[in-house]
Amino acid sequence: MTTTKVPRRWSPMVVFTPAAVEAVKVVVAAEPAGNQGLYLRVGVRGGGCSGFEYDMDIVAGDPPESAFQWHQEGLPVLVVMDVVSAQYLRGTTIDYVRQGLQEGFRFTNPVAKSTCGCGKSFSTST
């Protein structure tokens, strides 16, 4: 008997606001391959001034089978998150904000106990 591994499908771990969806569309459109064979990786990594940094990028190829994967309405690519990042990002809202001369993605993370001044890193009590 042959077993086929099925990727983890989950309800969205994070939600993108309409402004963030539009910003992702712009980034994907700038990729040489359009949205063919691409996915949006969302996660965390150690670093930053608060302990963890948010990490989000467009990746070509097949997503890891062990990662959580989902589609969000409006996004032209699959969203993928590794299992470790999921514990730190579950319930997060990702927005795209323009304020004065600065613009970028803003994470509103219910797990974060503190964030740095720039909002790109955070710490938790876990």
**90: pLDDT confidence band, cut at 50, 70 and 90?**
confident
CA–CA gap between residue 102 and residue 98 (Å, rounded): 6
Domain carrying residue 13: 8-123
Is 92 part of any domain? yes
Which residue is listed with tokens 């969302």? 42
Is 1 part of any domain? no
Q: What is the pTM of this model?
A: 0.81
Q: Give per-residue pLDDT as tens, 105-124.
A: 999 988 877 676 665 666 77
Phi-psi region of 123 (alpha: psi -120 to 50; beta: other; left: phi over 0): beta
Is 47 part of any domain? yes
**What CATH number should be reported for the domain holding residue 114?**
2.60.300.12
CA–CA gap between residue 15 and residue 85 (Å, rounded): 15
